[in-house]
Amino acid sequence: EAQVTQNPRYLITVTGKKLTVTCSQNMNHEYMSWYRQDPGLGLRQIYYSMNVEVTDKGDVPEGYKVSRKEKRNFPLILESPSPNQTSLYFCASSWGTSGETQYFGPGTRLLVL
């Protein structure tokens, strides 16, 4: 089944403890991206990747890192999480660019204490 998967789905952590949220797609998509969803602010893009080893900042990249070593995987790294990073995170992928239909993962709900 073609899909985008994220792990973990739920995570509670403490300030400063490094964490990684994984994202994987099995559709051979070139474009992958991360978003956070917050009440009243909608979806905001954190980082995106046009292909392997090609990443760029979205609108809210501060406090996040990403890597794209393989086409299928695009992990989101929080080196030192803070409470303002408590949010619902979505990974998405598509053919080519942001102008193609995005396929979203199920979301990861993160709480930073």
**Chain residues in the site for another protein (CB under 8 A):** 31, 33, 35, 40-45, 48, 50, 56, 58-59, 90, 92, 96-99, 101-102, 104-107
Cα separation of 88 and 35, whole Å? 8
Residue 61 or residue 63: which is nearer to another protein going by CB?
61
Residue 41 or residue 113: which is nearer to another protein going by CB?
41
Q: Which residues, other chains included, contact 76 with Cβ-Cβ below 8 Å and sequence gap of 6+?
A: 20, 21, 23, 34, 46, 47, 64, 65, 66, 89, 91
Residue 31 or residue 64: which is nearer to another protein going by CB?
31
CB of 56 to another protein, least distance (A): 7
